[in-house]
Structure 1
Amino acid sequence: MGQGDLPRLTRDGDQPARIARGSRTETTVMKFASVTIAGRPSWGIIEDNTFCDLGALLAHRVPDLSAAIATGDLKALAMHKVEAHRYDVGDLAWLPVIPEPSKIICVGLNYEKHRKETGRAEVAHPTIFLRVADSQTGHGCPILRPKVSTQLDYEGELAVIIGKPGRYIPAAEAWSYVAGYSCYNDGSIRDWQWHTHQFSPGKNFPQTGAFGPMLVTPDEVGDLASLRLQTRLNGEVMQDAVFGDMIFDIPTLIEYASSFTPLAPGDVIVSGTPGGVGAKRKPPVWMKPGDVVEVEIDRVGLLINTIADE
């Protein structure tokens, strides 16, 4: 599979979701991506398997997707798509949705089945660790197994992209701070994760955190609780859960994270993985070169990566 290949954008195809608002129904197409075109980084809208290059059109004032989010009006920027040059998605290389977020806040043990399979005790607060930006990779790009380990594991997750600055955000107001959602594969080097009680070394090897293919706005997605996340390895379902199974829901995570650090537009909260990780299977299942791993989320997208050696 080439870097530009995108077999399916969403389980529902690439048709815009219809969201009921009171007595009327709105139709929107709000799917944003960060890409490279002939080596040039850009950002824009994915529509009907084409890429509308807003980055080239608006580079003088909105150079990347984080800056677009920071304007506070993605819908207004999206109106420029009629002026933008269009490319077939097959001509693109996909970048992480937010290539260089100021913060990637990851949540551990946020599904009961996963907590139980790890043998961890129940906790009153979310388990938090951080990723660095250069540990990420994009849709269609390889996830790298480092030369110091063979214990590369998958973790399918929902990524929440923050839309506006906030500190001490009450859970009741948290949804208004969400710019959109994407798929994430929090690839983990387990033996390095388990060197001590600190997760960070096993979570920050280069090109292990896959993020994509695109940001889908909340009005595209609707209510999260019943939406399904599925992780597949070489076509076999390894993880299968709905977001209603989370121990700490998205508003709680935003409230908690914003209490210890200011959140900024383009910051990412990676909300935790369900049970079924490779490390806890008997025998363990480790990803190896040539494997294909998929993370699919209803109405959000399908993230596909191959595994390669560093």
Structure 2
Amino acid sequence: MKIYKFLQGGKPRFGVLEEPDTIRAMKASPFEGSIDLDDETWPLSSLVLLPPTVAHPRIFGVGLNYKSHILETGRALPEIPSIFMKPDTALIGHGESIVYPSGSTIVHYETELVAVIGRKARNVAREDALDYVLGYACGNDVSERTIQRKEMTLGLMTVGKAFDTFAPIGPCIETSVDPAALRMRGRLNGTIVQDCQTSDLLFGVDALVAYLSQAITLMPGDLIMTGTPGGVGPLQPGDSFEIDIEGVGVLRNDVIGENA
């Protein structure tokens, strides 16, 4: 099942995809309990899509989590997940623009699978962890490398990951895929630049949910960006980047200059 969030009558609504271009309204948010459908329908192509989560989610990122990406950096495999966070002001949806910061010279795309938490989770066992995940979305962990590299000499990743618009997520939540068996591709201006299987993840979604929930109560709508494979590279104003995850969908965002 694909769950979309969109604007209708000036208000955010949730709905499910019933046909290739038909969205049926949900009576309430999927993060409030059961998924009950309403009678209203709209063409998907007519809707302005929003990030498919709550209004102000916590966004957890994971560095160095694909073996291919770790190998291209020359680092050793980490013993625990390398966790950082993005502010909710970085969050944008499908079709919104990534803003290239004024004064920046190195901004990279990062194709990622995003796990969307569906219910409150604390001290979750790994074998039960996926029961707390509502579904999966496409995500782009956009990164300002000049700042990030300076931060990493201090042992942190904060501002370089946190610019406004640096967390595109969407276009929907897919509830019925195996997060460990998906093909994931990133396309820059139509050319494939990242192509991998999520089986290459060092710490899978189950391990990440269990690890985070040891210390943090995960809440409905929280987002876990699970890491990027090899092939990261630069974005420039005027570029278009697509993230295509098998069974989930395609997230597309253009890049504009900050003063455009």
Please give the TM-score of this superposition, normalised by the length of structure 1: 0.78
Higher percent of residues as helix: 1
Q: Secondary structure at the match of 2:150?
A: coil
Please tell me the residue identity of whatever aligns with 2:32: A
Aligned partners of 1:101 and 1:260: how far apart in 2?
A: 20
Residue 2 of structure 2 is matched in structure 1 by 31
Residue 204 of structure 1 is matched in structure 2 by 162
Residue 69 of structure 1 is matched in structure 2 by 31
Where structure 1 has 5 or more consecutive residues not aligned to the other structure, the ranges are: 1-29, 279-285
Aligned partners of 1:41 and 1:224: how far apart in 2?
A: 27
Q: Deviations over 1:141-160 (max 9, x none)?
A: 11111113132211010000
Q: Percent same amino acid among aligned pairs?
A: 37
Aligned residue-pair number: 254
Where structure 2 has 5 or more consecutive residues not aligned to the other structure, the ranges are: none
Larger Rg: 1
Superposition pairs of residues 43-82 of structure 1, within 5 angstroms:
43-48=14-19, 49-54=21-26, 58=27, 62=28, 65=29, 68-71=30-33, 73-74=34-35, 77=36, 80-81=37-38
Report how far residue 131 of structure 1 moved: 1.0
Q: Secondary structure at the match of 1:123?
A: coil
Report how far residue 120 of structure 1 moved: 2.5
Aligned partners of 2:58 and 2:204: how far apart in 1?
A: 19
Q: Deviations over 1:154-173 (max 9, x none)?
A: 10100001111111111011
Task: State which of 120, 130, 138 in structure 1 corresponds to 2:93.
Answer: 138
Report how far residue 258 of structure 1 moved: 0.5
- Asked if the contact 1:229–1:241 (Cα under 8 Å) also holds between the matched residues in 2, the reply is yes
Please tell me the residue identity of whatever aligns with 1:41: P
Q: Deviations over 1:179-206 (max 9, x none)?
A: 1111001111111212212211011111
Report how far residue 266 of structure 1 moved: 1.1
Higher percent of residues as strand: 2
Please give the TM-score of this superposition, normalised by the length of structure 2: 0.92
1:288 aligns with 2:236: yes
Residue 115 of structure 1 is matched in structure 2 by 70
Structure 1 pair 167/69, CA: closer, same or farther in 2 (3 Å)? same
Aligned partners of 2:180 and 2:53: how far apart in 1?
A: 24
Root-mean-square deviation (Å):
1.5
Aligned partners of 1:225 and 1:165: how far apart in 2?
A: 22
Residue 179 of structure 2 is matched in structure 1 by 224
Residue 3 of structure 1 is matched in structure 2 by none
